[in-house]
Amino acid sequence: MAPADAAADPAGTRRFVVPHARVPADMAARTLRRFGGVMQRDAEALLLDGPPDRGRLAALLADGWPLLVELDEDGGADGDWPAVPAPEPGFLLSLTTATAFAVQSPVAVCDALERRGALPERRRSAVELCLHEAVANALVHGNIGVPADTRDQPDGFRLFGEQVTAALRDPAVRRRRVDIWARWGAGALDLAVVDEGGGFDPDRLARPADGFARSGRGFVFMRALAGAVAVRDGGRCTRLHFDLRGPAP
């Protein structure tokens, strides 16, 4: 729920109550596949009427809202976020592709986790790198749809940049959502990143021994730094688990 001492909504936002009993069955089924649970109670979301910058985003996350959702350019908030159980303690951040790409959302999320006391400074670098890889995959290969092997082609970096820039001119691509879910407690931190792309076959991901594989190398880094990595919902959800009690990797 919203912070008990929140007398008024922050400027440029409004509250929205998500009644769990009205979550469509298909949304609830996707939530079960991704997070292993469904909403059991109503939740209060804070809707952002415009794209936030990184500082505003970090401040709103640090205020304790369990669901923080950016409205898209048409004032809507389509996506599966209403079905996601609000973690306690934790939060769900739902951003459009355009905003998540612009505000360095993994940095903003880690800023908020540190400010909430959920992420020790000594573990931040590993967590932030893993989250960066997961969000980059969700945005570029998921929502934007650039093939994973584009940069391995001749003149691949130029081609990669051109494809991303061209795709972001499409309002439908800009509106696609990336959801970042965080939950912590008992010396552990769990993160999940969900996109609205076409998914992929997780069995084709590179393994640690495949150092020269042309795709999936981000998952090699994530598996080396996180305690556990799981890919769900046909490749549209990446879950990361970190044991914060042990030494940093």
- Residue-wise pLDDT for 8-67, tens only, equals 688 888 888 888 888 888 988 888 888 877 777 888 889 998 889 888 888 888 788 889
At 156 the pLDDT is 66
At 203 the pLDDT is 74
Residue 106 pLDDT class (50, 70, 90 cuts): very high
Angle subtended at Cα 122 by Cα 211 and Cα 88, rounded to the nearest 5 degrees: 95
At 22 the pLDDT is 86
Say if residue 131's pLDDT is above 90: yes
DSSP per-residue string spanning 20-39: GGGS-HHHHHHHHHHHS---
Residue 6 pLDDT class (50, 70, 90 cuts): very low
Say if residue 180's pLDDT is above 90: yes
Say if residue 249's pLDDT is above 70: no
Say if residue 214's pLDDT is above 90: no
| Any domain includes 1 | no
Q: Which region among 34-48, 108-122, 150-164, 167-181 has the lowest average model confidence (pLDDT)?
A: 150-164
| Any domain includes 5 | no
For residue 54, give the H/E element and its range. Answer: helix 54-62
| Any domain includes 179 | yes
| Any domain includes 175 | yes
Number of domains in the chain: 1
Q: What is the mean pLDDT of the chain?
A: 83
| Any domain includes 2 | no
| Any domain includes 93 | yes
Residue 138 pLDDT class (50, 70, 90 cuts): very high
Give the global pTM.
0.87
At 128 the pLDDT is 96
Calculated CA dihedral for residues 90, 143, 129, 231, nearest 10 degrees? 70
Residue 1 pLDDT class (50, 70, 90 cuts): very low
Asked whether the beta carbons of 225 and 240 are under 8 A apart, the reply is: no
| Any domain includes 208 | yes
At 23 the pLDDT is 85
At 205 the pLDDT is 64
53 in helix, strand or coil?
coil
Angle subtended at Cα 38 by Cα 13 and Cα 187, rounded to the nearest 5 degrees: 85
Determine how many CB atoms are found less than 10 A away from the CB of residue 5: 7
CATH code at position 212: 3.30.565.10
Residues 156 and 73: their CA atoms lie apart, in Å, by 31
Q: Which region among 76-90, 211-225, 226-240 has the lowest average model confidence (pLDDT)?
A: 211-225
- H/E/C letters for each residue in 77-140? CCCCHHHCCCCCCEEEEEEEHHHHHHCCHHHHHHHHHHHCCCCCHHHHHHHHHHHHHHHHHHHH
Quick one: which of 118, 125, 124, 240 has its CA closest to 187?
118
Cα atoms in the 13 Å half-sphere on the side-chain side of 163 = 18
At 2 the pLDDT is 42
Question: Residue 81 is part of which domain span?
Answer: 13-243
| Any domain includes 4 | no
Cα atoms in the 13 Å half-sphere on the side-chain side of 64 = 7
